Amino acid sequence: MSGANPGEEIGCDVAIVGAGMAGATLALALCQGGLECVLIDPLPFETQVAETFDGRASAVSFSCFRQWRALEAAGGVEPHAQRIEQILVTDGRSPGAAAAPAQGVWLRFDSAEIADRVEGEPLGYLVENRRIRAGLAQAVTATPVKVLAPAKVTALEAEPGSVRLQLDDGRTIRAALAVGADGRNSKVRTASGIEVTGWDYGHVGVVATVGLERDHQGVAYEHFLPSGPFAILPLTEQRASLVWTESRARGTALMTARPEIFEACLRRRFGPFLGEVSVLGQRFAYPLSLQLARRITAPRAVLVGDSAHAVHPIAGQGLNMGLKDVAALAEVLIEAMRLGEDIGSAAVLERYARWRSLDNVGVALATDLFNRLFSNDHPVVRAARGAGMALVNQIGPARRMFMAEAGGAAGDLPRLLRGEPV
């Protein structure tokens, strides 16, 4: 907190609380549109890009990736982005079985099937979170956005015509609008009196990066087991990111197992289809829950990203939902500014809520249903989902609809998600 002047009041148009992937992207978008913003986080960018900070990789839809290109933030991310050319889904067998249709129920999505509709884009891009964070940090640093880190918002108060945020270092910020991009335990959300609904899944996602003997050819595998999904997600440099969903107890056992035991468990689960597998770096565990804010706006405050909705990672949608919030909010605020409106007024915030609320609730509930259906070993449920997967696999238009939806190319898209500047 060196250099902070306690008692100082900083003025801006928008105070963005949380410099995670959603908050940093929003700062770039608002800055491009001419709004003056301050980005606040207890963790400086240097901490967020360390290999030990976040071991996850994210499947980012091609439309969300376009947003970073439109914001000139993709330069640092692109060299580390692996195109996802195919997604293979298997049910209850070893992942390798997906490559051989005769061996079991499977569902296959192929980027070649929608290439003409999406100008050759893949199904999505797989990038390690630390690479995304580094790319965004580099882009933010090159803009006039004022970054206050380390600094933590401790209180927030809406006043007539503005909002006042208190920082833990004694400084205050006065803005027309506060944005909560501060994750699951959002201070902006609680200080604004917004309640949440949701439930704990009693599971953790154990995450590790592995080196592969054979080329993955851009194929992502989602392998559904009774305990939950086991995903093998292709990364650059012939590596893969694993998300291994297990009960809390088994997750703890995996996290504390000696490296050679963990590697042996992994090899058994993985199968031989990509050759020898070796664990690179440390393991991480993330508790899984569903959490939905009952509203995404309050007087002089809005929520984006995980502060508004935290979902099960089964379909790789959490960050994508947050990036869609960002694109919609940026467009609403910049249009309001250009029309001379008060960007923090209830009428302006209502436009954002109308645009995003339904989609967020829909995706969160679909993700929850998907998880219940696929993490279930009841023979009837297994038979029904097997038949359902086989049916979707047979019907080209159904497959293409799923792919367009997952790519984020469906619905009323904000300009940034179409790859246009805001």
The residues of the shown chain that bind ligand FAD, judged by CB under 6 A, are: 17-23, 40-43, 56, 58-59, 152-153, 181-183, 187, 205, 207, 243, 286, 305-306, 313, 316-320, 322
- Residue 18 beta carbon to ligand FAD: minimum distance, rounded to whole angstroms: 3
What's the closest the beta carbon of residue 67 comes to ligand FAD, in angstroms? 13
At its nearest, how many Å lie between ligand FAD and the CB of residue 218? 15
The residue among 312 and 399 lying less far from ligand FAD, judged by its C-beta, is: 312
- Residue 243 or 336: which CB sits closer to ligand FAD? 243
Angle (CA) 177 312 353, round 5°:
30
Cis omega (within 30 of 0) for bond into 226: no
Q: Which is nearer to ligand FAD, 94 or 186 (CB)?
A: 186
d(CA 384, CA 368): 17
Q: What is the Cα–Cα distance from 261 to 405, expressed in whole angstroms?
A: 39
Closest CA to 169 of 49, 21, 356, 1: 1
**Per-residue CA distances from 248 to 205, 230, 286, 375 (Å):** 9, 15, 10, 15
Minimum distance from residue 313 beta carbon to ligand FAD (Å): 4
The secondary structure element, H or E, covering residue 41 is: none
Q: From the CB of 181, what's the least distance to ligand FAD, in Å?
A: 6
Instruction: Give the residue with the Cβ less far from ligand FAD, 98 or 167.
Output: 167
Cα separation, 363 vs 120, in Å, equals 25
Q: Which residue has the tokens 């809406």?
A: 158
| Closest approach of ligand FAD to the CB of residue 367, in Å | 10
Nearer to ligand FAD, 6 or 272 (CB): 6
Tokens standing for residue 186: 């959002």
Nearer to ligand FAD, 17 or 74 (CB): 17
Phi-psi region of 2 (alpha: psi -120 to 50; beta: other; left: phi over 0): beta
Please give the torsion angle defined by the CA atoms of residues 419, 236, 183 and 133, in that order, rounded to the nearest 10 degrees: -70
Report the distance separating Cα 328 and Cα 415, nearest Å: 8
- Residue with smaller CB distance to ligand FAD, 318 or 407: 318
**Shortest spacing between CB 380 and ligand FAD, in angstroms:** 29
